[in-house]
Amino acid sequence: MNPQQLETLLAEVAAGRLEVAAALEQLRHFPTELLSYAQLDHHRTLRQGHPEVVFCEGKSIEQVVTICERLAAASGGFLGTRATAEQARALAARFPDLEWDPVARTVHRAPVRGASRLGTVLVASAGTSDLPVAEEAAVTAAAMGCRVERLIDVGVAGLHRLLNARDLLTLAEVLIVVAGMEGALPSVVGGLVGVPVIAVPTSVGYGAAFNGLAALLAMLNSCAAGITVVNIDNGFGAAMAAVRILTGRKSA
Amino acid sequence: MNPQQLETLLAEVAAGRLEVAAALEQLRHFPTELLSYAQLDHHRTLRQGHPEVVFCEGKSIEQVVTICERLAAASGGFLGTRATAEQARALAARFPDLEWDPVARTVHRAPVRGASRLGTVLVASAGTSDLPVAEEAAVTAAAMGCRVERLIDVGVAGLHRLLNARDLLTLAEVLIVVAGMEGALPSVVGGLVGVPVIAVPTSVGYGAAFNGLAALLAMLNSCAAGITVVNIDNGFGAAMAAVRILTGRKSA
Amino acid sequence: MNPQQLETLLAEVAAGRLEVAAALEQLRHFPTELLSYAQLDHHRTLRQGHPEVVFCEGKSIEQVVTICERLAAASGGFLGTRATAEQARALAARFPDLEWDPVARTVHRAPVRGASRLGTVLVASAGTSDLPVAEEAAVTAAAMGCRVERLIDVGVAGLHRLLNARDLLTLAEVLIVVAGMEGALPSVVGGLVGVPVIAVPTSVGYGAAFNGLAALLAMLNSCAAGITVVNIDNGFGAAMAAVRILTGRKSA
Amino acid sequence: MNPQQLETLLAEVAAGRLEVAAALEQLRHFPTELLSYAQLDHHRTLRQGHPEVVFCEGKSIEQVVTICERLAAASGGFLGTRATAEQARALAARFPDLEWDPVARTVHRAPVRGASRLGTVLVASAGTSDLPVAEEAAVTAAAMGCRVERLIDVGVAGLHRLLNARDLLTLAEVLIVVAGMEGALPSVVGGLVGVPVIAVPTSVGYGAAFNGLAALLAMLNSCAAGITVVNIDNGFGAAMAAVRILTGRKSA
Amino acid sequence: MNPQQLETLLAEVAAGRLEVAAALEQLRHFPTELLSYAQLDHHRTLRQGHPEVVFCEGKSIEQVVTICERLAAASGGFLGTRATAEQARALAARFPDLEWDPVARTVHRAPVRGASRLGTVLVASAGTSDLPVAEEAAVTAAAMGCRVERLIDVGVAGLHRLLNARDLLTLAEVLIVVAGMEGALPSVVGGLVGVPVIAVPTSVGYGAAFNGLAALLAMLNSCAAGITVVNIDNGFGAAMAAVRILTGRKSA
Amino acid sequence: MNPQQLETLLAEVAAGRLEVAAALEQLRHFPTELLSYAQLDHHRTLRQGHPEVVFCEGKSIEQVVTICERLAAASGGFLGTRATAEQARALAARFPDLEWDPVARTVHRAPVRGASRLGTVLVASAGTSDLPVAEEAAVTAAAMGCRVERLIDVGVAGLHRLLNARDLLTLAEVLIVVAGMEGALPSVVGGLVGVPVIAVPTSVGYGAAFNGLAALLAMLNSCAAGITVVNIDNGFGAAMAAVRILTGRKSA
Amino acid sequence: MNPQQLETLLAEVAAGRLEVAAALEQLRHFPTELLSYAQLDHHRTLRQGHPEVVFCEGKSIEQVVTICERLAAASGGFLGTRATAEQARALAARFPDLEWDPVARTVHRAPVRGASRLGTVLVASAGTSDLPVAEEAAVTAAAMGCRVERLIDVGVAGLHRLLNARDLLTLAEVLIVVAGMEGALPSVVGGLVGVPVIAVPTSVGYGAAFNGLAALLAMLNSCAAGITVVNIDNGFGAAMAAVRILTGRKSA
Amino acid sequence: MNPQQLETLLAEVAAGRLEVAAALEQLRHFPTELLSYAQLDHHRTLRQGHPEVVFCEGKSIEQVVTICERLAAASGGFLGTRATAEQARALAARFPDLEWDPVARTVHRAPVRGASRLGTVLVASAGTSDLPVAEEAAVTAAAMGCRVERLIDVGVAGLHRLLNARDLLTLAEVLIVVAGMEGALPSVVGGLVGVPVIAVPTSVGYGAAFNGLAALLAMLNSCAAGITVVNIDNGFGAAMAAVRILTGRKSA
């Protein structure tokens, strides 16, 4: 039940065309339908702003293509993460304007809209093996309307490379900092800047890295105050957190 | 070496009063001193805005009082977290205008300044046992210049209380969501709002809660996209993350 | 807003005393208030059936007494779990008819009502050290209206004691099986009976028992199909699960 | 030795046709044979009600076919879980009336019997990736004689979908709630209904989901009282727990 | 029901003094009573050989004294492990001939019997902090009738001390090897002797010793074939395992 | 340096043909050579009794064949564990009398010797999936000279099958009890017999079985006193522990 | 900016050819450029001493070849670790003088330089399965200019082999000790020698070895004082630690 | 048996005063006595260089005093770690020249000897809470004869403080780097210097620091090559590792 339907119902009651008891019955399911408003509003906002997102991992080629076709029909575009080469090729056959990024493992079809309208996200990564996660974050943020800068291979064991990039660090409104192994980069970056720092641990490393656990724990225990953390390898989630921050900022 | 000193040195060289070799020697330590600029600038910003913060846990009463005296002398105020009653009493004897919050375990002396200048943070907590962590976040955010709202006892097993507070949820610019046990609250909240959600797991619970591990893992794996997480019981860190977000927003 | 209030509102609209727009505004918060119905209904059911429950651990004596006074005023009775001797003494001073069970660590004041109306729960425990958890389950189940039988010290290393009690096992409608250490008892019991078996791991044991982790994992991996598990030391939760089962059964 | 045989033996002794010493010798194995009664009784009950169950994972095609043939000969039907496509194809060649569900990974051949005779189980799942586990539960429960309803894709980040289905939730006698990632769904559902809720964590998720550990811990620590939990991905076990509950209820 | 009672019953039936139906009724609990034979036999063996054992940890002084009094009345003696000084003093007041070993934390009252009758157990320990566990093993083994030798402070970082004791190592029939920290001693000992080696990890150590986990894992992964392991700090269990081995050997 | 060489050296000194200083120099490496005696003695014992053992996992076919050829040349026979079908086929081509057990994953060539000379080991296993580990234990024990009995599919959820086999349980001198999932079988068996029980956890199970961790912890925390444990899936190690026990017993 | 450039800049200022303000601007990035000195110096040292190192795991054949070509062009040589056979073959086609060690999984092309100039490293390993890690350490240390000795198959269960090699142990200046399973070897070695011991846990073992965790914990808890540890399977890291030690020693 | 005794024995044989057989018998225990040489040599070195070390934690005051008296009698001095104030006071009463460091929790009595003879160790620590561990390392290294420098409060979130101290970093021959929380400091330091870096994780932090596990894992996974790690809070072990390095260097 949407607001118009609710207004109609009340008008019916006011006009004596609907009994109070009958109206009461119809309102039984009102709560969830009211909540559906928000959902619909949200969908509208999404359609106007950024594309829908599909997590492709574990889905069949057929499922991915079908879902993307439905999204494209509804809003013009879509973003797929964790896409395999096979999935990407099938989508490209269907959508000639598809952008496939094999490092980020993303497939993206932009809805028709103008240039970036949100602020700048800097995606910094510690090592070359962290790039898939960093790129997933970068592509997602860009698809959502952010301006994206990249800073790669700035692991803390070679501090000068990070310090050389201080201009870039101070320019960004939000930093996404991606690191595996000992996960120290967000702590160092967090001490250099005052803007929001979203730390992304990666499963890069071996042995006692325990598939990203070492980096995750390090980031949660950062001595730089105000760092926040997302799940291991969750570049997508970090980008969405940046979008939450920048969306609010834009309307400020 | 600060910029003025650097300028003087260069002027000395320009004037022929300082040999190039001697200038070179003096510049050997330039890098870290240049970095100290940022540190000093940062300090200046801090002094103008919010008080210095002292982590009181594990410090002697003497240490806490001495540090706070030094901070008060420098900037007028301070904030202490994880303060014991004994530490608070000793500080109150020294600073009659001290604000001590025994639930949040904070001691706060505000520097002379005007009203709140940053946006609104809503601190929502799942159960009454989560209050110390939630209050640490609330007091810290307020001390840093945020407007703070609170929403308590809105655990997901009693969903109507949370839904009753939807106005409050949509009013805030940043949400800090505090929960122990199964840590589900941030996921539900993150599905209801589009603003930044900072999740704080607490060590509340027993048995397989493993001192907050259950809530921490749940929050890192939230199905609501864009939720970020801080360390277990780290109300202070969540508030500082909110400050990073709102500071940027203010200058937007 | 309760149903009466909603009916009144609709009647006001029907009578032309309330504008549709004004009614619409008042209904903005309807969803959660509707949900509150369920909550109120639930409360009513609770009051008629079993007492409210207070988790006393970590609460001050003052808090516990105040909460219990409020509950007693509302419904006549209450149940407190994890109560200390100090909390129990303070409550007994206030409620002369309080039942305090120092092993179960429960305080109970029964509302005025008739005899047990739900089916029979058998609480079986492996060792004497498991008794506090078993008794918490037994007292809670009894307070909620179940008939409760007990079977103690039937660890699997002395199988004959368990087999001697087969009559008791087959008599119960729900079994709560409490064990620490290797946690094998629910698997053996689950093979002997066809009724619901709720397994409760306890933190009894040392070394590689890891505070109940060994028993918890054993119970989750039981080779007896259809065993379910609650948190370590969660006798209360097991009893509430039994109540969920028996309440439904009663109405069947 | 069954009761009739025991009676015969005693009669032989009474008639002087069997020496006391010889009777004593024959009774040496009495205990386990008595226990075999229960086993036989259980088998009889099973045959009349629901099919035997085979865990196909790790078994060869030959083994699976042989076992199923033996079960079919004995009772007419069987249920196989975790069946591969190869195993299913081999069984279908042998049993033309085999029902294979590739999502649930089940193979089922129903014994000749009437319609469902147990109550209604609702299987609710949080995300599409949780479907194999949810379907394993649904197919198993149906094979065991339950009426089964399904509710899919009701993750807590989109609360309105769950609230929209409240009628369905209140209709079921037992709820099986399946979720991976943060595992919050059973806590929310458990707060909405009073009937038994069996929570099934799944290994869906990545990084700090640790193959279902996050969801498992969340469910064990649910703030909704009386939720019980089964092993990760154990849809079969959840269904069997529901059967234990509903079997008892039926006979109430 | 013991064998004599069973024989009597059968004789009663044979003599016509007991109806078959009545005999059948009496035999209803036969199985578990048959199992009780073994239990009774076992008790008899225990009484003749070694004292009953009480785990004193977590029991009140009153409980410990009462249980020991009952055991002393039945069999003349008892062994208590994990006894506190308070428990020991209370027992000593009651049993003047009590042997209390404050390092092993044992209380022992020997039944009247002859000298040791089982073979030799060597209890070897790596460091002085491992002594309480080693002594618990040694006192238990001695109380059970073993001859006990001790070898202390033979950690693997000072190999010569261990090699100096090779005569002692080759003399024992069973070795109990107790070590904390890196838990390497059983591996080295297991390579030097061919007799059974029971490894006991202790919780000695700090940091990444994780309360004995490091030693436990090391012992489970020993490169010396045929080493077996008991729980962390379980000196009692190791002694009982030695008794199982030597009891069998004696009767060989 | 063997004893003969040492004797010769001393005789040389006694005869004045070797200087004290030169003898001293030659004795510098004496310790390890003396230790080599034990090694040689040990080897001799091994050769006379049971075959050498090769852990085939991770070795190339070439390596396995070469090692086995060397062992066969030295002692006539060998035992290989964790052998693949490829390794077994290559060995069978070389040794026509090779015994390959594809379930146990063992390859065995017996040295020329008489019948079994050690006591009886009973290998009991809980489920059919535990058979590879149980068979590895059984084949190894047999190859080492033990008489081996087997008891399969006696999981604790079907207690009557275990109790039916009590004769077999009481006949064995050592029990190897193999179980995955909840690992309860050794606790139940340990309560039924007084002989040594060696518990072998297997990696059978899924989800919270954590590859055998659940069974391992359960066995370490057994409430049956005197149970010892080996590594997960270590059937070989359990057999070698049995051999250590029975070898001693034989010579008693 | 290198020292020459800095000197030039200062000379420009001294000569009046560069304004102070302009010099100040140019010096803005001085810190990181100064840090680049160290980097450049370090590079120079590296080029003169040992080859650059490439971690080949997870890189494409193309990437590996390109990187190695660039390194070879810059310094004449390179070292690659964790190289696959495919990567090695591609490199060998490009560099005919490539040394490929399939056990160590290394590819090495030596720059033109003289013989080893650093001290002696002894790489000792416990079992044959530890060889890949041990060889990675050995090849890396040799490539970096160390003299390398090897000692294999000296696990602690066969102590005599280790003691036989005492000459070798006392000859080395640094010991790298590699072990999986129970990881006891470094503790034993550390008690025999006074030189630096670098312990390398390997992922060799199964079950409760937990992919090297058991060995890692054992080594961290070594009772031999002054042992240090690197990551699981990190032979490369151990060699680099040895190089750090020996480089300093050389210049002493 | 020491060398003199061995020489005497050989002389006796040479002189015909001792039979070869009798000599052979006496040499039976030679190996371990030969090993005792090394032990004695080591003792001699220790006595000449640095004091004996006592781990005081868990020892009674009496035990500590007795052990220290014995050590003082033998070598003039001793070092005690993890000493309580009570232990220190008792020792000070006995040894007026005792040096007690309450932060490092050490008690030290220097043997009569000259100034430091080993190289320079720099002990760097991240936060003030890490000081007890850092001081334990510093006092131990000094007691062993090293020159010790300290660098405190150089956590990575305030990078300028560390960079300001680069002179100090390059001056040391060995670095001990102590950090809790995220444990990032050793990685950053390891990138700045080429000398040996010994990383010490501390248990400083809360929540997901898991008592030092986060820092330990971070250090084991450092992206700076050649960092080695000791146990959590093991300042003593780090100092001993530095002594191993510097002792070798001295003799180079």
Per-residue pLDDT tens listing for chain E (252 residues) = 445 566 777 788 878 888 877 776 666 444 333 332 333 333 333 434 566 789 999 889 998 999 899 888 877 889 999 999 999 999 999 999 999 999 999 999 987 554 468 899 999 999 989 999 999 999 999 999 999 999 998 999 888 889 888 888 988 999 999 999 999 999 999 999 999 999 999 999 999 999 999 999 999 999 999 999 999 999 999 999 999 999 876 544
* pLDDT, tens digit only, all 252 positions of chain B: 445 666 777 778 878 888 877 776 666 444 333 333 333 333 433 434 566 789 999 889 998 999 899 888 877 889 999 999 999 999 999 999 999 999 999 999 987 554 468 999 999 999 989 999 999 999 999 999 999 999 998 999 888 889 888 888 988 999 999 999 999 999 999 999 999 999 999 999 999 999 999 999 999 999 999 999 999 999 999 999 999 999 876 544
The answer on E60 and E39 residing in a single domain is yes
A35 to D166: CB separation less than 8 angstroms, yes or no: no
- Mean of per-residue pLDDT scores for chain H: 84
Q: Does E225 touch chain D (CB under 8 A)?
A: no
Q: Is H234 exposed, middle or buried (0-12, 13-18, 19+ CB in 10 A)?
A: buried
* Nearest beta carbon to residue E159 from set H35, H58, H231: H35
Q: What are the chain F neighbours of C219 within 8 Å (beta carbons)?
A: 182
The answer on E144 and E104 residing in a single domain is no
Task: Classify residue B13: in a domain, yes or no.
Answer: no
Residues in chain G: 252
Q: What are the chain E neighbours of F192 within 8 Å (beta carbons)?
A: 38
Q: Does B60 touch chain H (CB under 8 A)?
A: no
- The tokens describing B250, both together, are 């203010």
The answer on C240 and C158 residing in a single domain is yes
Would you state the pLDDT for residue B20? 75
Residue of H nearest to E181 (CA): H231
F221 to C213: CB separation less than 8 angstroms, yes or no: no
Total domains in the fold of chain E: 2
Q: What is the CATH number of the domain that holds G237?
A: 3.40.50.1970
Beta-ladder partners of F197: F175
Dump pLDDT digits (tens) for H66-103: 989 988 887 788 999 999 999 999 999 999 999 999 99
User: pLDDT category, D14, cuts 50, 70, 90?
Assistant: confident
Q: Does F23 touch chain H (CB under 8 A)?
A: yes
Distance CA A27, CA G219 (A): 68
The answer on F166 and F66 residing in a single domain is no
Pairing of strands D106-109, D99-101: antiparallel
Dump pLDDT digits (tens) for G213-222: 999 999 999 9
Residue of B nearest to D161 (CA): B191
Dump pLDDT digits (tens) for G145-166: 999 999 998 999 888 889 888 8
The answer on H101 and H59 residing in a single domain is yes
What does the buried/exposed string (b/e) look like for F105-116 if buried means 16 or more CB atoms within 10 Å of the residue's CB?
A: bbbbbbbeeeee
User: pLDDT category, H144, cuts 50, 70, 90?
Assistant: very high
Distance CA D30, CA D23 (A): 11
List chains adjacent to chain F, taking adjacency as at least 3 C-beta pairs closer than 8 Å. Answer: C, D, E, G, H
Work out the end-to-end distance of chain B between its first and last CA atoms, rounded to an integer number of angstroms: 32
- Kindly give, in sequence order, each residue whose CB lies less than 8 Å from that of residue D46, ignoring residues fewer than 6 positions away: D52, D75
List chains adjacent to chain B, taking adjacency as at least 3 C-beta pairs closer than 8 Å. Answer: A, C, D, G, H
Q: Of the residues C109, C138, C163, which one is the last residue of a structural domain? A: C109
Dump pLDDT digits (tens) for D87-96: 999 999 999 9
Query: Is the CB of residue G170 less than 8 Å from the CB of residue G142?
Result: no
Shortest CA gap D218–chain B (Å): 4
Q: What are the chain G neighbours of E187 within 8 Å (beta carbons)?
A: 156-157, 182, 184
Q: Does F232 touch chain G (CB under 8 A)?
A: yes
Q: Would you say residue C170 has pLDDT above 50? A: yes
Higher pLDDT, F181 or E251: F181
Beta-ladder partners of G198: G176, G228
Task: Classify residue F23: in a domain, yes or no.
Answer: no
Would you state the pLDDT for residue D58? 85
**What order of strands is seen across the sheet that includes strand D99-101?**
D52-55, D78-81, D106-109, D99-101
Distance CA B26, CA B12 (A): 12
User: What's CA E4's distance to the chain center, in Å?
Assistant: 32
Q: Does H33 touch chain E (CB under 8 A)?
A: yes
Catalogue the E-assigned strands of chain B.
Answer: 52-55, 78-81, 99-101, 106-109, 120-125, 147-151, 174-179, 197-201, 228-229
What 3-state DSSP class applies to D226?
Answer: coil
Least confident of B204-208, G171-175, G228-232, H37-41: H37-41
Query: Is the CB of residue D171 less than 8 Å from the CB of residue B168?
Result: no
DSSP alpha helix (H) spans, chain C: 3-14, 20-27, 30-49, 61-75, 85-94, 131-143, 159-164, 166-171, 185-192, 213-220, 235-250
Would you state the pLDDT for residue F65? 93
* Nearest beta carbon to residue H35 from set E163, E208, E209: E163
Q: What are the chain F neighbours of G159 within 8 Å (beta carbons)?
A: 35
Q: Assess whether chains D and H touch, using the rule of 3 or more C-beta pairs within 8 angstroms.
A: no
The answer on D95 and D149 residing in a single domain is no
Residue of F nearest to H8 (CA): F20
Q: What are the chain C neighbours of B129 within 8 Å (beta carbons)?
A: 58
Least confident of D64-78, E89-103, H116-130: D64-78
- Predicted ipTM of the assembly: 0.81
Task: Classify residue G182: in a domain, yes or no.
Answer: yes
Q: Does H251 touch chain F (CB under 8 A)?
A: no
The answer on E181 and E231 residing in a single domain is yes
Would you state the pLDDT for residue A35? 32
Task: Classify residue C70: in a domain, yes or no.
Answer: yes
Q: What are the chain H neighbours of B212 within 8 Å (beta carbons)?
A: 207-208
Q: Of the residues F51, F76, F109, which one is the last residue of a structural domain? A: F109
Q: Does G70 touch chain F (CB under 8 A)?
A: no
The answer on B61 and B181 residing in a single domain is no
Q: Of the residues H57, H85, H109, which one is the last residue of a structural domain? A: H109
Shortest CA gap A240–chain D (Å): 14
Q: Assess whether chains D and E touch, using the rule of 3 or more C-beta pairs within 8 angstroms.
A: yes
Distance CA F222, CA F228 (A): 9
Shortest CA gap E159–chain H (Å): 8
Q: Tell me the DSSP string of D37-51.
A: HHHHHHHHHHHHHS-
* Nearest beta carbon to residue G223 from set E157, E207, E222: E157
The answer on E169 and E239 residing in a single domain is yes
Least confident of C238-242, E39-43, H6-10: E39-43
Distance CA D207, CA A234 (A): 8
Would you state the pLDDT for residue D231? 98
Q: What are the chain D neighbours of B125 within 8 Å (beta carbons)?
A: none
* Nearest beta carbon to residue F32 from set G129, G166, G209: G166
Q: Does D155 touch chain B (CB under 8 A)?
A: yes
Dump pLDDT digits (tens) for C93-133: 999 999 999 999 999 998 755 446 899 999 999 998 999 99
Q: Does G189 touch chain E (CB under 8 A)?
A: no
Dump pLDDT digits (tens) for H26-61: 664 444 333 333 333 333 334 345 667 899 998 899
Would you state the pLDDT for residue G30? 43
Owning domain of residue F231? 120-251
* Nearest beta carbon to residue E240 from set F35, F225, F241: F225
Query: Is the CB of residue C183 less than 8 Å from the CB of residue F218?
Result: yes
Shortest CA gap D199–chain C (Å): 9
The answer on A176 and A85 residing in a single domain is no
Task: Classify residue C216: in a domain, yes or no.
Answer: yes
- Kindly give, in sequence order, each residue whose CB lies less than 8 Å from that of residue H25, ignoring residues fewer than 6 positions away: none
* Nearest beta carbon to residue C160 from set E35, E211, E212: E35
* Nearest beta carbon to residue A32 from set D163, D207, D209: D163
- Kindly give, in sequence order, each residue whose CB lies less than 8 Å from that of residue H129, ignoring residues fewer than 6 positions away: B58, H180, H202, H204
Task: Classify residue B133: in a domain, yes or no.
Answer: yes
The answer on G105 and G130 residing in a single domain is no
Task: Classify residue A151: in a domain, yes or no.
Answer: yes
The answer on A141 and A174 residing in a single domain is yes
* Nearest beta carbon to residue A160 from set G32, G203, G233: G32
Task: Classify residue H164: in a domain, yes or no.
Answer: yes
Pairing of strands F120-125, F147-151: parallel
Higher pLDDT, H43 or D84: D84
User: pLDDT category, F48, cuts 50, 70, 90?
Assistant: very low
Residue of B nearest to C217 (CA): B208
